Structure 1
């Protein structure tokens, strides 16, 4: 696990006490030399129950205000436990439009 991936995982765990959490470093799927530039978050938390999607994303953007100066892309999939149970998974990330390595 990369340093940034570990950091994001720890901060989300502290802030949201998620029932399910995935932090995936997807940097290897994208062009360029950066190894910690693209991340995908799947966060399932009771904290999101009364929040609109935009407010969930604003919360995470604020939580990682400093980190976003160094991260090129942050895909956020935020769910309540009931939403997660109905969805049974998050969507795959799109291919990099800047020249995918795959």
Structure 2
């Protein structure tokens, strides 16, 4: 059974506070390849590896059913700084 973007979103939003979340299906709708951008205060004090491990553990059931998954994780402060650079 394939994974939907809604399943990923629900799992994340039910587990941690989310300031911003983007989920992109790179598999043309078949649910096999996702990327996310996730901004949460839950990442404060965690390095990138710890954040990714945290998200991987959170989504372990969904990740077992998909082929590829990539993530970018930011604290709200990092996200604001990134947006300021872009604009």
TM-score, normalized by length of structure 1?
0.74
Structure 2 residue ranges without an equivalent (≥5): none
- Superposition pairs for residues 15-94 of structure 1, below 5 Å? 15-28=15-28, 35-88=30-83
Whichever structure has more helix as a proportion of its residues is 2
Give the paired residue count: 83
Structure 1 residue ranges without an equivalent (≥5): 29-33, 89-102
TM-score, normalized by length of structure 2?
0.85
Structure with the greater alpha carbon radius of gyration: 1
Cα distance between partner residues in 2 of 1:58 and 1:64: 10
Q: 1:10: which partner in 2?
A: 10
Q: CA RMSD of the aligned region, Å?
A: 2.0
Cα distance between partner residues in 2 of 1:52 and 1:59: 11
Kindly indicate whether the alpha-carbon contact (under 8 Å) linking 2:39 and 2:73 is maintained by their aligned counterparts in 1.
Answer: yes
